[in-house]
Amino acid sequence: MDASLLVNLQKYPIADLSCSGARALIQDSRNRLEEVGAVTLSSFLTEEAVTTLVAEAHSLDWAAHEYRADHTVYFEPSDETLPADHPRRRLVHTHKGNVPYDRIPANALLRSLYRWDGLLHFIAAVLGEPVLYRHADAMAALNINVHGPGQQLGWHFDRTDFAVTLSLQQCEQGGVFEYAPNLRTPTEENFDRVARILSGAQEGVRRLPAEPGTLTLFRGHYSLHRVTPGNGPSKRFMAALSYVRDPGATFSSYARKLFYGRESALEVAV
């Protein structure tokens, strides 16, 4: 199947980035990303595509590695020399499932969408990057994040400058993506405000919609964010599409073991 058929091209004409509609979309998306650190494109996928991709996600639920950890918002060891409420010492909780790229079949439509050049070029244009590459890691390149009842993603900053996600299915209650845009800068960590949010303050915290079929571009390196615990019979499925500036970027053996429970990838065509 042509991957472009999964996208609502009438609303988002990204197959031809030179057309006026695509240029306007790119500029508007850039403006929103600059202003609030994130841009959400609702109904980016067609209804038929959502149905198909949700079925794929359900069929791979068995392959999700359960990740459960207490960690700092920086994913670094807790610094016991600091006060108990300091962000570099304080721990938050994450518990979720994660289906790695090498568990997603080579003929899966989600793979074809990830590997479609039209999507890659559109994302690069919105981010203002002259060129981006698909992640070279056979496990980290494309993941399906799975949140069952009560599971959550704790407050944290991303190690990468940006993230690209596709919402496939939402739980009945909770499972809300919350973030504090541009909370830190390259020269200012803003520990006081980070600590206040970790203590429950809602000052400046935003919530992003996650209706099925929504594409989100997010600058998570400078914006503190989390996914609240979800409830209900339906699991939360979110695809994470990894694009990078370095064509040779891969995960370390330590990171693979931490996030996927093993160091070696399966022999699956990428």
The answer to whether residue 108 scores a pLDDT higher than 50 is yes
Predicted pLDDT of residue 269: 44
Superfamily of domain 3-260: q2cbj1_9rhob like domain (2.60.120.620)
Q: What are phi and psi of 113, to 5 degrees?
A: -65, -45
If you search the block for the tokens 């073991």, which residue do you land on? 257
Q: How far apart are CA 223 and CA 36, in angstroms?
A: 9
If you search the block for the tokens 């793979």, which residue do you land on? 111
Q: How far apart are CA 67 and CA 56, in angstroms?
A: 21
Tokens of 193: 């405000």
How do residues 151-179 score in pLDDT, each as one tens digit? 999 999 988 889 999 999 999 999 999 99
Inter-residue contact 71 to 185 (CB < 8 Å): no
Length of the chain: 270
How do residues 199-209 score in pLDDT, each as one tens digit? 999 989 999 98
Inter-residue contact 217 to 160 (CB < 8 Å): no
The residue among 201, 160, 195, 161 whose CA lies nearest residue 178 is 201
Q: How far apart are CA 9 and CA 219, in angstroms?
A: 25
**How far lies 209's CA from each of 15, 40, 64, 269, in Å?**
25, 8, 24, 34
The answer to whether residue 251 scores a pLDDT higher than 50 is yes
Paired strand residues for 252? none
Q: Whole-model pTM above 0.75?
A: yes
How open is the CA angle 253-255-260, to the nearest 5 degrees? 95
